[in-house]
Structure 1
């Protein structure tokens, strides 16, 4: 069944494609058949198998690499199935393309690699061969079914790596605005390390490697698509703001429905995405077009990230440069 043939609730805001849009956006996609220069692929979506495109990418042109590969489980992506492997096979599969992609990184590049509890061990093995690992971020993925004979799986990992000891990290761009539970005051009666404004009592806090302020896209969110493992725009905004500057190049080799490219565009970065599925590539192009009219990122405004379920987090944010 095509996206536009599905029966959806009236309040469903999932981004879909009709036949004319598929034709329109597919014309914007590119494939690589020879070695390219950065200017030939920047701000484009490459509709191709990564293994076919990887050797045609330019050397040392990427400032920030965000990798969200298929996790080591059997999963269907618009009719294409990735099958679970044993640990050694999955590790070999990761290294088969990662070892070839390191050359596209600038000397001071930063890399973030997504995984879950099954795949994180393999990711650590492969990443530590080629990069310096700085940290492992764990984020709460509140979606998911309960389990009767096990703990509910409600978290994923993101490995923070760098190519060298020189890299970008801007902590002031990714502070979180949290509600104050115990609003202590000075002897003079002034707020101590918190602010009392029209939105309530809040404190700006430094970001940690435990993220609990994210909402996985669902049917009533304007960023939602039918991609089964879509990452939140807010998650990418944290990473892009923390580890890149405006006009830097952000690259995603498994771009899915294009969240990385879309957020990079909203934050004035250049982008390149590779995705094997044409439908997801077309959704990427539609979302990129939509971003021109609506550049906001839910949960990010006034230069800070708002914790989940605050009124500002739930509402429509206005774009603020990092």
Structure 2
């Protein structure tokens, strides 16, 4: 689970940093080279979640997330999800000639077609309206009392409830509404801890290890620690690494 530096957005204070390359293709190649090494050390049944956003150049979006995803597919990754992180409390933009930007990608990649993923750990409760509709309609949210197709015995839509529902709740889907976050001791962007929770719960078993190759202030590691997982964070900037260690040592929740 990681979020690398976005292209031409911030100077993170290290000569070997990624993100300030003059050429976009160089930036994409540098990221993919890191993720090649990630693929090398990831378990065969592992999962890789990547948070990335786009950049404007001469007023035109560069399609960086899409280009990066396509290149990673070329390098052997399987793309399983394009999750939309809807930032419902993000900072306003001053632009007047386009709509403001309020979401980012969270890609879910796997090195193989078979992998560790426990959906039951992140299921969400059904709304009261859905529960009512299911109870009235034989567990089928799309129930149509006039539709008796496929039922030779004349019974209409008599289906098993568990065909449409699960006792632990619904699949959370691929649009997650999560406010942005700040860390008071960091002058750079950190993603919210809530963004890490579902990926770590579903993608890493309790005896697994969470790796963040762009650890920054250690948000991924903090969430992993809170969820009882082992973790490894890699960070070039010593100042940021110290912030991460401080957060982890004090047991930040």
Q: What TM-score does the superposition give when structure 1 sets the normalisation length?
A: 0.58
Aligned 8 A contact 1:253 1:274 in 2 = yes
> Is the counterpart of residue 70 in structure 1 residue 9 in structure 2?
no
Query: Pairwise mapping of residues 213-292 of structure 1 onto structure 2 (< 5 A)?
Result: 214-218=178-182, 225-291=185-251
Asked whether 1:123 is paired with 2:58, we answer: no
Instruction: Return the match for 1:153 from 87, 93, 101.
Output: 101
Following TM superposition, by how much is the alpha carbon of 1:285 offset from its aligned partner in structure 2, in angstroms? 1.1
Equivalent position SS for 1:264: helix
Cα distance in 2 between the residues matched to 1:204 and 1:166 = 24
SS in 2 for 1:127: helix
Q: What runs of 5+ residues in structure 2 fail to find an aligned partner?
A: 55-62, 142-167
| Contact preservation (8 Å) 1:217, 1:224 | no
Q: For the structure 1 residues 86 and 239, does the alpha-carbon distance in structure 2 shift closer, same or farther, using more than 3 Å as the test?
A: same
Q: Which deviations, in whole Å up to 9, do the C-alpha atoms of 1:67-103 show, x marking residues without a partner?
A: 3111123313368884264432222222232223321
CA contact (8 A) 2:14 2:237 kept: no
- The alignment status of 1:176 with 2:124, answered yes or no, reads yes
Could you tell me whether the CA contact under 8 Å between 2:87 and 2:102 is conserved in 1? yes
CA distance in 2, matches of 1:267, 1:277: 26
SS of aligned partner of 1:156: strand
Change (3 A) 1:79 1:103: closer
Alignment CA distance shift 1:211-1:225 (3 Å): farther
CA 1:88–1:144: 2 relative to 1, 3 Å? same
> Could you say if the C-alpha distance between residues 224 and 216 of structure 1 is closer, same or farther in structure 2, counting changes exceeding 3 Å?
farther
Provide the aligned C-alpha RMSD in A: 2.7
How far did residue 108 of structure 1 move? 1.0
- Aligned residue number for residue 81 of structure 2: 135
Q: 5+ residue gaps in structure 1?
A: 1-65, 194-202, 296-322
Distance 1:283 1:179, change over 3 A: farther
- Which structure has more relative contact order (CA 8 Å, sep 6+)? It is 1
Secondary structure of 2:198's match?
helix
User: Structure 2: how far apart are the matches of 1:252 and 1:290?
Assistant: 20
Q: CA deviation at 1:125?
A: 2.4
Q: Which residue of 1 aligns with 2:39?
A: 102
Structure 1's 227 and 265: CA in aligned 2 closer, same or farther, altered over 3 A?
A: farther
Partner of 1:310: none
Number of aligned pairs?
210
Q: CA deviation at 1:270?
A: 0.7
Q: Would you tell me which structure has more strand in proportion to its own residues?
A: 1
The answer on whether the counterparts of 2:212 and 2:232 sit within 8 Å (CA) in structure 1 is yes
Determine which structure has more spread, i.e. the larger CA radius of gyration.
2
